[in-house]
Chain A
């Protein structure tokens, strides 16, 4: 058993003892009822389970939760799909996903949303050129699997958020 404390969407949880093998995905879904983070493959291959980890240095990255023990999240601060909107106000990316009909069944949406949000935040610190934008988005999303959409509308949704505020995201 390992004792875990973790901050989720700004709220502290724990300390709590968990089995060493308990995955973060099961910790979120079975222990906390945070089922917005999905279970897709259990092998780290589809990334429908990805959450955002906010690192102490101010950067963020995504991580699968289905193959990562909850214990390894001890001391970390994470964001899940439930934490993007503030007081019911959707983020620009959430709105863009809706406006572009980016998803269909929606089961992969949390993973794409988290990846897209990390990309947006990264670009504010490390902008790219317009010429590199499509590849940058493609590279960011490429590990995420979607069986419904063909990915195009996800790309268009995040691209349009960026192009709506080029001074913030592009060099």
Chain B
């Protein structure tokens, strides 16, 4: 069948099929942007009364919202018919690939078009650097990894596509020749982080990454530079000097010293899948006449997706080089990091470019998502930790981490660095030496996933801490308290945190909780009842932010006081839309009627330009570049690293402050009859909103709508658009707004007056965080502690989580219910990681295309203590900003479970997951 919408109607009529079988979508389709702007002015806005999310109604009514919901017929202006594409991937990465046997696809199974590596070479496609590696395995090469694509097949009708995919599920068309073994590639990144503290806490470090720079071993350098330039690796670094200090630390740990308890342990973590419920999907249409490429995608990194497609096609032959790329980004059905910098959009774009004029949909099914989706890194770790027996204080720590990065580099180097910097968790250790290397393998590519690196190394650490406390006969919480890093103390990179370190409060809460206080009693009760009971504790800290984070937002208010917000950050369940609305409401007095997220092309009024790499730029270059008032270190970043609340809402908050100060406040003064010379006119910070009215001392309360009408009438600022940048500290700049100067934590600003257009304001006195901050591991962090009580059945090894308690701090919670939900979800994901989830890395793993749910287990409701999980969020400190918490809440659950299992069974497991079968074996 090859049919437009009208032809489809004819076809169904001719075959006796009712016309009502045509798509339910009508001719009056709302635009994509209208569908994605929520809740929309015509719909109930539950968030306005604080009883739900901006996207609540859309999600309970099945509105078209996700990329997988859209077909060409849903999009006004597109041809009505959708073609369907599928990627053929290899399950063999040890033999020479010799081609695809297309002759076996006949009849309906025969694709309309086949795209291979040769076609990409022919058109001059250029793989973006981040995704380096063949997008399709060429004939004559051994596939780089299991699941590497070899061909893209396109079918004009869904029925043909559907039959083909069913036929190909258990049959391979691929031909292979001689065995070569897996491809051997250079590692993705290797670093050594070594710190030797000064003689006293106040003394400067003898040696540290912040003081002396990050170093990599030379054999991973390529032409003197790093393999992947995103990380701040200086060329020609003094690796030998670092190694010298490191070896001294290791020698101390290996010395025969009876005053020191030294634990030398290995720990392994497994590969897992993010298992977001919506498999990756995209829709694209290339209009060759207009040379316009339209894309509908669902990713965490929209700016990267759009620019990567532009790079891919930027040097292509004329017929394959669009003049315009119009990328639409949809709500996503879960992300957890796995949709951040995925190569999937490149294939969506290629499908459209090779099939011009016809919209093409590329969608993974779950088998394909397992086969190709980004995975969490498997780690092998060896740790040596020395503790002074007399004081119970950790004196030295050395660790070696080896990460399996899978087939493509992706974020492996970053994961290696982040995991190493997390290796000492909440603790203050004066001597630390950590090596880390991320290796290529034939496994499915590993990359970003919730809490990357930190989850692995802090799990190993917190299990080791438990063992150390036990060996020294010190209470585990007391041992943690004794060694915890305090506010003002230095991280293993050698910098201090920019936030208050609330470890003592977290530990106090854990210690006082009934689960902890009654642990011995419950264990004894269990024994008497024939149950094996154990209680475990863990406490972790997790950075939020990546060290080069940004946000773009605009906020607009109309004459009726209705608020619209646009933002480049992505809604993946994290509640960014609702958080934006709530944060702006604090400044403008009402929850927005319209919130649109994942927009990267709406902020052209700012005229932003960028160059250089924000992670590796040197100070002199930054000083030079920042003279251009339009230059920013990065334009738009992925929604990742728990930055939604802290960064994602920041620009909108600053834009709202500008509207209030230069639009609503002058309007209110006029309504109150207060002259600009009146001292009260300068007290705008003393005013506050209550139930949609602006209150100021004994003046008449002013409804927002009345102020907005006046602001428009007097052509005050009624909309603002801002960009902000953080490198472990916000950039600041000054802007002239009318006759006044405005200094704020933003680096670009445009304003609209009355009903006019946005006008860019050139900044002055911009202060970007110094580039040396790139040497920090992190300076923003939040904490979470957990207690878990387990009951294990002796005969079967079945484990039940009887009770659990999680206590966290996240500064000012913008939407407390969403914070609670994230904590509950993090608990579930932690349980899955500790007890259930595991993917073999190679031929038996997901790269073989045979994995699905059922074989891969994630936590179900029956695996969790639905009535026995208590979450506590510490109240914010005065002036606390919103802090990231989506990752930290998952991490302590895993070691707390392992420590509880030890308490119950006496067996210290040092590899994940700990399955029922393993427990049964341990108890046998």
Contacts and interface: CB of A to CB of B under 8 A. Distances in A.
Do these two chains really belong together in a complex? yes
Interface of A: 11-17, 19, 21-22, 26, 30-43, 45-46, 48, 80-82, 84-85, 90, 94, 97-101, 103-110, 113, 134, 138, 141-153, 155
A22 B159 contact: yes
Contacts of B25: 33
Nearest to A31: B21
A34 to B, nearest CB: 7
B575 interface: yes
Contacts of A94: 60-61
A99 B332 contact: no
Contacts of A107: 66, 276-278, 333-334
Given A21-B163, A35-B69, A147 B334 contact: yes
A41 B817 CA distance: 29
B853 A148 contact: no
B6 interface: no
B51 A41 contact: no
Given A107-B333, A151-B828, A33 B24 contact: yes
B821 A30 contact: no
B166 interface: yes
Given A81-B60, A101-B817, A147-B828, 7 more contacts: A14-B18, A38-B68, A41-B853, A42-B852, A101-B815, A106-B59, A148-B573
Contacts of A31: 21, 23
Contacts, number: 216
A107 B66 CA distance: 8
B366 A42 contact: yes
A36 B61 contact: yes
B74 interface: yes
A38 B56 CA distance: 17
B9 to A, nearest CB: 13
Interface in B42-81: 44, 46, 51-53, 55-66, 68-71, 73-74
Interface residues of B, number: 81
Contact of B824 (A39, A48, A149): A149
12 contacts: A14-B17, A17-B17, A26-B162, A32-B24, A33-B71, A48-B277, A81-B60, A84-B61, A98-B53, A138-B866, A150-B869, A155-B866
B21 A99 contact: no
Interface string B854-869: 1000111110101101
Contact of A42 (B53, B61, B275, B367): B367
Given A33-B24, A33-B25, A138-B866, A99 B275 contact: no
Contacts of A41: 366, 852-854
Interface in B532-573: 572-573
B61 A145 contact: no
B784 to A, nearest CB: 14
A33 B73 contact: yes
Contact of B825 (A16, A113, A148): A148
Given A98-B53, A99-B46, A36 B818 contact: no
A152 B824 contact: yes
A106 B571 CA distance: 11
B852 A113 contact: no
Interface string B261-288: 0000000000000111111000000000
A26 B365 CA distance: 12
B21 A30 contact: no
Contact of A90 (B57, B859, B866): B57
Contacts of A22: 159, 162
A152 B62 contact: no
Given A106-B55, A107-B334, A150-B864, A80 B62 contact: yes
Contacts of B44: 90
Cβ-closest 5 pairs across A and B: A36-B62, A105-B573, A107-B333, A104-B573, A150-B824
Which of A85, A98, A113, A149 gathers most chain B CB within 10 Å? A98
Given A19-B159, A33-B25, A105-B278, A145 B860 contact: yes
Interface of B: 12, 15-18, 20-21, 23-25, 44, 46, 51-53, 55-66, 68-71, 73-74, 158-159, 162-163, 166, 274-279, 331-336, 365-367, 572-575, 815, 817-818, 820-822, 824-829, 852-854, 858-862, 864, 866-867, 869
A16 B52 contact: no
B21 A16 contact: yes
Nearest to B43: A88
A104 B821 contact: yes
Contact of B277 (A26, A105, A113): A105
B519 to A, nearest CB: 24
A106 B822 CA distance: 13
Contacts of A14: 17-18, 21
Contact of A104 (B20, B278, B574): B574
A15 B826 CA distance: 47
A33 B827 CA distance: 36
A155 B861 CA distance: 9
Nearest to A110: B62
A81 B163 contact: no
A153 B821 contact: yes
Contacts of B24: 32-34
B277 A40 contact: yes
B821 A82 contact: no
A88 B63 CA distance: 12
B69 to A, nearest CB: 4
Nearest to B24: A33
Nearest to A33: B23
Contacts of B333: 38, 105-107
Contacts of A33: 23-25, 71, 73-74
A4 B365 CA distance: 25
A164 B877 CA distance: 37
A46 B841 CA distance: 24
Contacts of B71: 30, 33
Contact of B158 (A30, A42, A97, A144): A30
Nearest to A104: B573
B864 A151 contact: yes
Contacts of A21: 162-163, 166
Contacts of A15: 16-18
A161 B817 CA distance: 18
A135 to B, nearest CB: 10
